[in-house]
Amino acid sequence: MSAKIISGNEVSKQLKDEMKEEVVKLKAQGMEPCLSVILVGEDPASKVYVLNKKKACEYIGIKSLETRLPATTTTEELLKVIEGYNNDKTVHGILCQLPLPKHIPETKILRAILPEKDVDCFHPFNVGLISIGEVRFLPCTPAGVIELIKRGGFETAGKDVVILGRSNIVGRPLSNMLDQRDMNATVTMCHTKTKNLKERCAAADIVIGAIGRPEYVKADMVKEGAVVIDVGINRVDAPGTEKGFKLVGDVAFDEVKEKAAAITPVPGGVGPMTIAMLMKNTLTAAKEAFFKK
């Protein structure tokens, strides 16, 4: 029997509808949440992401500001834009779309955003808060994974979870979040140098693919009845199709779904959740700014 499909499209819609109702109540109190997005350069994927974020803001009722800068923008020019938004009390969240042009140091830019407006949760201060269990924001993609697990009704307490990938954006923060007291999972974070990788995955109750390799997780790496969350999104050649390529995850979906109890698709799985959690962080930032006045 094929696995249950965990739809990020459906769960993200539920979340956005809940936030939409909350924004109506906040506006009635005189507060309008606002997200500012900065896009540097002409990266096609980044343009799509920014457009989707703008649509999510419009749906929920969050004010959306956007600054587009040429790829020739200097680090100093970008820092001035960020400083302006940092000082603007009507702006609650600031997001600088990645990747940046190679001549601009990402670390310097991300750390320039005030921690209380860091709705991507990349600032070391906010990351540090997570590690000690005092959360302000949660990184958007890991938070989306957690939400899919929770709303899917999948138990994590006492379960063995394997995360494939140790990036600072997904693997590391997700590991930290899953072993907190509200989740109580036993987490193993694997990577390309991990020994007996296949055996470790095959013993896990929950497998999370975030390794950036197309269809890397095969059926023989997953035990019967496991929950599989696919964070990856990879473009692979698909001759004969309209676009000449297709999007696949880090999991070989067609074969793994025959063994797993539940699995996320690509696209339509974790991706929509990332944007939903960005909206949630923006709302959190707005409430924090408004109610501490």
Q: Which pair of structure tokens corresponds to residue 258?
A: 């025959």
Residue 117 to residue 93: CA distance in whole angstroms:
4
Q: Which pair of structure tokens corresponds to residue 211?
A: 């390794």
Secondary structure element (H or E) that encloses residue 59, with its range: helix 44-60
Query: Which residue blocks in 184-237 are alpha helix, DSSP H?
Result: 197-202
Beta strands in 109-217 (DSSP E): 160-164, 186-190, 206-209
Residue 50 to residue 60: CA distance in whole angstroms:
16
Helices (H) and strands (E) in the chain, counts: 10, 11
β-strands 245-248, 234-237 pairing: antiparallel
Q: Are 77 and 96 in contact (CB under 8 A)?
A: no
What's the one-letter identity of residue 192? T
Using left for φ > 0, alpha for ψ between -120 and 50, and beta otherwise, residue 270 falls in alpha
Q: Are 172 and 215 in contact (CB under 8 A)?
A: no
Reference 265, options 278, 248, 280, 284; nearest CA is: 248
CA triple 161-248-253, angle to 5 deg: 55
Residues labelled catalytic:
53, 97, 120
DSSP reduced 3-state for 181: coil
Query: 246 - beta bridge partners?
Result: 236
